[in-house]
Structure 1
Amino acid sequence: MYRKEIKVLDCTVRDGGLMNNWQFSDDFVRSVYNACVEAGVDYMEIGYLSSEKAFDRNVVGPWKFCKDEDLRRIVGDNNTSLKLSAMADIGRIDLEDIPMASESLLDMIRVACYVHQVDKAIELAHHCMDKGYEVSINLMAVSTVNERDLDEALADIAKSRVPIFYAVDSYGSMYNETVQHLVRKYKAAMPGKEIGIHAHNNMQLAMANTITAIQEGCTYLDATLLGLGRGAGNCHLEILVAFLKNPKYRLLPLLQTIQDHIHPLQKDIDWGYHIPYLVTGALNEHPRSAMKWMDSERKNDFVAFMKEMHDYQ
């Protein structure tokens, strides 16, 4: 699968922070950063760009905001080939909260939106581009969107200046055929734009779906160390790097950080494949109900959860 145009994006801290409110130690974030640098990873998504009005710093850690002083504490001037990314959610950041790229350590801003927010996502993405950033739009929960609404959204994005658009399996509900259909649809509707893949692992298909996306021409590949991410987690970065067979990427630094920081975290955070996440993925449901169940004393009562979800249906 060696293709020089492929870019690997680590989102361990950004997506993993959904499991602990981004309360990572500096040592943890610095270790992930150093591992990405040494492993030759192309981008590290170090967190979110959010408005201070939208979130309480007593509740969420600094990687929900990605202020320059916090970034510099970890990466210095980032005199490396690794590019830094942050995600911006529609409705949770104001335009004035985004500094000029020339005054920021961030290289890329990825705008996350739902289908009814595409017009606002394009506006924010253009604003970020005008400030000098690389930009993508990540359309979330696409597995719940009807074809007509999706076609309208893609037509709007096709007319925009935004160069990168992501196929996102928010609920971990997609099979290979779905990913194939979606990527082909995106490429046909938006010729000239690069397509990325962000897969969740509810049915243990995140890596398989990423491979399918690569075969269909996706060039931006999201992954996290040991799959750390919301609920069932993401495509595993270490598996992806081992699979790509690209000499620019190195596996050993990733394994060192997994051994020292990620694997020990499993004592405190239950991410990754668990039956409740399988159930929500199979039902094409948001994982919030499974995450709540996993935090309860009934976490291993899989039958009760399945029955509850069917009642919910």
Structure 2
Amino acid sequence: MFRPEIKVIDCTVRDGGLMNKWQFDDKFVRAVYQGLSEAGVDYMEIGYLSSESAFCRTEVGPWKFCAEDDLLRIIGESEKKIKFSAMADIGRIDYNDIRPQKESVLDMVRVACYVHQIDKAIALAHHCQDKGYETTINLMAVSTVGPRELEEGLDDLAKSRVPIIYLVDSFGAFYQEDIELLAKLYMERLPGKTIGIHAHNNQQLAFANTISSVICGINYLDATLYGMGRGAGNCPTELLLSFLKNPKFNVRPLIKVIEEEILPWREKIDWGYFIPYMVGGVMNQHPKAAMACMESDKKNLITEFYDQMTSAAAI
């Protein structure tokens, strides 16, 4: 589907980093950066924007911070041909640690929040806007939010200056009909704003739900190379670009990066469709229990995990 206003944000390093504490080396990040640039992807979300006081560099890699020196090292001497974004979590970034955009190679800051944090998210996003950044607010875990609470939250977002609001299927719980209903609700409650989607693949629906969102008029689309991301992973970038039919996109550079950089990580960490992640998605549960199972010596005891999860839900 060709629609020129559609923008693709690749979150491989940021979301994939949730699986290895952002401990990607420069070779990996530079290969992703160059591949996305050659493919014509609009944005690369290169990590989180966090304060050094919030995390320890001996425990997490540099892409948890997106320090300017690290970003410049990836770009090197070449001209930057793709926009950079970073995600900021409420309470993990000090306002004073956000430099003016004219002093940074970051172009966009995306503020992630839950519905009860909307006021704080708007304040942080406005602060970033005042410093010159493009901004979005990514409203997480909406599958757990009641209709009235969600409508009130969207009404608050409608009053903000933030131009892009994301529908996030944090637990991979949504089906096509959910996406259609929510896309309509977001557009009705957020007049004049652009809507984005971030889909997780617990039920192997991230790509399908992203397609449904495009048909509904959503224009900012998140994806990751080979679906690499937390738990069940995300909508695959290479699939999404193939679907969009925009002549500016070239899928081959992404295939090359997957072959050379992503597949080796497939031997070290597990993401994508696994039964524990499926169970979490069907039950609309945070993936932490499934991730703990997958990281344990019981990751193949999937009947035991199913029984534990369903028994706990019945209590």
Could you say which TM-score interval applies, normalised by the shorter chain? over 0.9
Deviation by residue 1:60-109 (Cα, 9 ceiling, x = unmatched)? 00000000000000013662331000000011111111110000000000
Distance 1:211 1:164 in 2: 19
Distance 1:167 1:294 in 2: 27
Distance 2:39 2:88 in 1: 26
Distance 2:177 2:161 in 1: 29
Task: Give the match's secondary structure for 1:229.
Answer: coil
Which residue of structure 2 aligns with residue 310 of structure 1? Answer: 310
Task: Give the match's secondary structure for 1:132.
Answer: coil
1:143 aligns to 2:143 (yes or no): yes
Give the direction of change, closer, same or farther, for the CA distance of 1:27–1:9 in structure 2 (3 Å limit): same
Give the direction of change, closer, same or farther, for the CA distance of 1:57–1:126 in structure 2 (3 Å limit): same
Distance 2:43 2:234 in 1: 16
Cα shift at 1:296: 1.0
Counterparts of 1:77-226 in structure 2 under 5 Å? 79-226=79-226
Does structure 2 retain, via aligned residues, the 8 Å contact 1:78–1:105?
no
Deviation by residue 1:229-261 (Cα, 9 ceiling, x = unmatched)? 000000000000111111100000000000000
Task: Give the match's secondary structure for 2:168.
Answer: strand
Which residue of structure 2 aligns with residue 52 of structure 1? Answer: 52
Cα shift at 1:133: 0.3
Distance 1:77 1:97 in 2: 26
Which residue of structure 1 aligns with residue 234 of structure 2? Answer: 234
Distance 1:76 1:29 in 2: 12
The one-letter code of the counterpart of 1:118 is I
Which residue of structure 2 aligns with residue 296 of structure 1? Answer: 296
Does structure 2 retain, via aligned residues, the 8 Å contact 1:77–1:105?
no
Does structure 2 retain, via aligned residues, the 8 Å contact 1:195–1:220?
yes
Distance 1:77 1:138 in 2: 32
Distance 1:77 1:119 in 2: 40
Provide the identity percentage: 62
Counterparts of 1:32-47 in structure 2 under 5 Å? 32-47=32-47
Q: How many residues align?
A: 313
Structure 2 unaligned residues grouped into runs of 5+: none
Counterparts of 1:249-264 in structure 2 under 5 Å? 249-264=249-264
Distance 1:312 1:63 in 2: 36
Task: Give the match's secondary structure for 1:222.
Answer: strand
The one-letter code of the counterpart of 1:36 is L
Distance 2:271 2:239 in 1: 17
Distance 1:59 1:96 in 2: 23
Distance 1:184 1:76 in 2: 43
Which residue of structure 1 aligns with residue 285 of structure 2? Answer: 285
Deviation by residue 1:111-140 (Cα, 9 ceiling, x = unmatched)? 000000000000000000000000000000
Give the direction of change, closer, same or farther, for the CA distance of 1:55–1:78 in structure 2 (3 Å limit): farther
Structure 1 unaligned residues grouped into runs of 5+: none
The one-letter code of the counterpart of 1:34 is Q
Q: Which runs of 4+ in 1 moved over 3 A?
A: none
Does structure 2 retain, via aligned residues, the 8 Å contact 1:227–1:235?
yes
> How high is the TM-score relative to the length of structure 2?
0.98
The one-letter code of the counterpart of 2:85 is S
The one-letter code of the counterpart of 1:253 is P
> How high is the TM-score relative to the length of structure 1?
0.99
